[in-house]
Chain A
Amino acid sequence: MCEVKVITGTSAAAEAAKLADVDVIAAYPITPQTTCVEKLADFVANGELNAEYIKVESEHSAMSASIGASAAGARAFTATSSQGLALMHEVLFAAAGMRVPVVMMNANRALSAPINIWNDQQDSLSQRDTGWIQLYAEDNQEVLDLVIQAFKIAEDEKVLLPVMVNLDGFILTHTVEPVTLPKQENVLDFIGTYEPKHAYLDPKKPMTQGALGDPNYYMETRYAIETAMENAKKVIADVHDAFAEKFNRAYGNGLIESYNLEKAENVIVAMGSICGTIKDMIDLKKKEGVEIGLLKIRCYRPLPIEMIKDALKNAKNVAILDKSISLGMNKGAIYADVASHLKDKKTVNYIVGLGGRDITPEDILGIYDDVEISEDGKTNWIGLKEE
């Protein structure tokens, strides 16, 4: 009843958008996202997907067109990466403020200068305050499952916020893995059709979206987004559970995933594809009788901080891995967000894999050893070549 295909992460995202029967795709190609929108262009050209494919002149336009399409009642999808996401920055706020449930795939990639097309998570982490829900995938199957779930989360009446599904550039975007594709009728049965109640551009019933909001109104709009973010935590968990029930694939509780956390004192907190390597190292060490753990953050915005605190209650030494850096603070964004809530534990920040630098299994084991002896609150750059 299901079909298994050996495909890349970008293909998995494109297949998911097709399964969700999107109405409008507005896209501009950028490495390493390009293969996703190429695949979607093929689907539309071959008549496999009945959607409007808008070729735009930049990512700023891709996001603007997606917002317009969503405001007109269409299920809209786009994809981007790195500099393209940075170019969208201005319009990302508009999407969240207008509460349009656009779904976007982002191929995580480093930012210039120097020009670097390889993977880190600086691009999406830099967009954390835009009001977008941010989800991170570990493998290609999770990419497909997350994109399907993203539509249901974004379009939920209690949420109505755009969702960004992130996958590590090249590591996932260009690596082939077996991916189970559900039947489209089951996917559509799961996510339903998008019927906008708050916004539906119709010439017979004119309305204005994104108009001027003076000091009398603006603050309330930000609070409304914050409330929707809070609601999203439950919706993300519920959508995940319903998905697990229907398609038989689960990822922790939907927001976080605990791996061997019960007995482990030394724990890593991480996000994205690196979690696969960490899980392998945990299994390896378990055979030697050493208990180490992983807390995978699947949903970075909204950040499920209470769940994270609860999951880490038995941990003593917490290594927080960041594939990004908040320059001038010598800390990554995940560390800044998580460590501030773990006052009773030792937390150490590890800056890893910037601009595609390899993170080896030995690096992971080294981090587990280091976090035990390293000083609380310290930042260590892993694999840095120093003079």
Chain B
Amino acid sequence: MVNTGTIIYEPGSSAKNKTGSWRVFKPVLDQDKCVKCENCYIFCPEGCIQEKDGKFEIDYDYCKGCLICEKECPVKAIKAEREEK
């Protein structure tokens, strides 16, 4: 399972480790309230928020639930919800 010396031979393989399971609270974006200011996209420290077809989407495979996006959203379009396990 682990290489000797925990060596990683393949560049970019960290994408295989989905870190979304670390989350306790989940940011949920209300698309109707969103004014597309890009603040959440700019402030996300993990690069989990991407623009797709004029809408912003959160990638829950990697979002660790820091909720910086919720704090930064000027129109309160992002709400924290407890993660259902």
Contact of A160 (CB < 8 Å), options: B1, B5, B9, B11: B5
Instruction: Let me know if B3 and A198 touch, CB within 8 A.
Output: yes
Contact of B5 (CB < 8 Å), options: A97, A206, A214, A216: A97
Q: Mark B3-20, 1 if CB is under 8 A from A, else 0.
A: 111111101001001010
A220 to B14, CA, bound (A): 18
Instruction: Let me know if A221 and B7 touch, CB within 8 A.
Output: no
Q: Which residues of B from 4 to 56 have beta carbons under 8 Å from A?
A: 4-9, 11, 14, 17, 19
Whether, in the assembled complex, B2 has its beta carbon less than 8 Å from a beta carbon of chain A, the answer is: yes
- B10: shortest Cβ distance to chain A, in Å? 8
A83 to B7, CA, bound (A): 31
Instruction: Let me know if B2 and A198 touch, CB within 8 A.
Output: no
- A70: shortest Cβ distance to chain B, in Å? 10
Instruction: Let me know if B2 and A207 touch, CB within 8 A.
Output: no
Chain A residue total in the interface (Cβ 8 A): 22
Instruction: Let me know if B2 and A99 touch, CB within 8 A.
Output: no
Given the complex, which residues of A lie within 8 Å of B9, measured CB to CB?
Answer: 205, 207
A116 to B44, CA, bound (A): 52
Given the complex, which residues of A lie within 8 Å of B19, measured CB to CB?
Answer: 214
Given the complex, which residues of A lie within 8 Å of B5, measured CB to CB?
Answer: 97-100, 160, 198-199, 209
Instruction: Let me know if B7 and A224 touch, CB within 8 A.
Output: no
Smallest CB gap from A205: residue in B? B9
Q: Which residues of A from 162 to 206 have beta carbons under 8 Å from B?
A: 198-199, 205-206
Q: Mark A219-255, 1 if CB is under 8 A from B, else 0.
A: 0110010000000000000000000000000000000
Contact of A208 (CB < 8 Å), options: B2, B4, B7, B17: B7
Given the complex, which residues of A lie within 8 Å of B2, measured CB to CB?
Answer: 213, 217, 220-221, 224
Given the complex, which residues of A lie within 8 Å of B1, measured CB to CB?
Answer: 217, 220
- A28: shortest Cβ distance to chain B, in Å? 25
Instruction: Let me know if A99 and B8 touch, CB within 8 A.
Output: no
Whether, in the assembled complex, A328 has its beta carbon less than 8 Å from a beta carbon of chain B, the answer is: no
Instruction: Let me know if A209 and B6 touch, CB within 8 A.
Output: yes
Contact of A214 (CB < 8 Å), options: B4, B7, B8, B17: B17
Given the complex, which residues of A lie within 8 Å of B11, measured CB to CB?
Answer: 206, 208
Instruction: Let me know if B17 and A207 touch, CB within 8 A.
Output: no
Give the interface residue-count category, chain B: 10 to 19
Whether, in the assembled complex, A210 has its beta carbon less than 8 Å from a beta carbon of chain B, the answer is: yes
Given the complex, which residues of B lie within 8 Å of A213, measured CB to CB?
Answer: 2, 6
Given the complex, which residues of B lie within 8 Å of A206, measured CB to CB?
Answer: 11
A221 to B1, CA, bound (A): 10
Smallest CB gap from B17: residue in A? A214
Instruction: Let me know if A207 and B8 touch, CB within 8 A.
Output: yes
- A162: shortest Cβ distance to chain B, in Å? 11
A100 to B7, CA, bound (A): 11
Instruction: Let me know if A199 and B6 touch, CB within 8 A.
Output: no
Contact of A98 (CB < 8 Å), options: B6, B14, B17: B6
Whether, in the assembled complex, A211 has its beta carbon less than 8 Å from a beta carbon of chain B, the answer is: yes
A100 to B6, CA, bound (A): 11
Instruction: Let me know if A211 and B17 touch, CB within 8 A.
Output: no
A214 to B62, CA, bound (A): 14
- A288: shortest Cβ distance to chain B, in Å? 54
Smallest CB gap from B8: residue in A? A208
A205 to B10, CA, bound (A): 9
A293 to B19, CA, bound (A): 58
- A321: shortest Cβ distance to chain B, in Å? 36
A214 to B8, CA, bound (A): 14
Instruction: Let me know if B8 and A224 touch, CB within 8 A.
Output: no
Contact of A198 (CB < 8 Å), options: B7, B14, B17: B7
B1, B4, B5, B11: residue with the most chain A Cβ atoms closer than 10 Å: B5
A221 to B7, CA, bound (A): 11
Instruction: Let me know if A211 and B8 touch, CB within 8 A.
Output: yes
In the complex, the 8 A-B pairs of residues with the closest C-beta atoms, listed nearest first: A99-B5, A208-B8, A198-B4, A220-B2, A98-B5, A207-B9, A209-B7, A221-B6
Known: A207-B7, A213-B6. 16 other contacts (CB 8 A): A97-B6, A98-B7, A99-B5, A100-B5, A160-B5, A198-B4, A198-B5, A199-B5, A209-B5, A209-B8, A211-B6, A211-B14, A214-B17, A216-B17, A217-B1, A217-B2
16 cross-chain CB contacts under 8 A = A97-B5, A97-B6, A99-B5, A160-B5, A198-B3, A199-B7, A205-B9, A207-B8, A208-B7, A209-B5, A209-B6, A209-B7, A213-B2, A216-B17, A217-B6, A224-B4
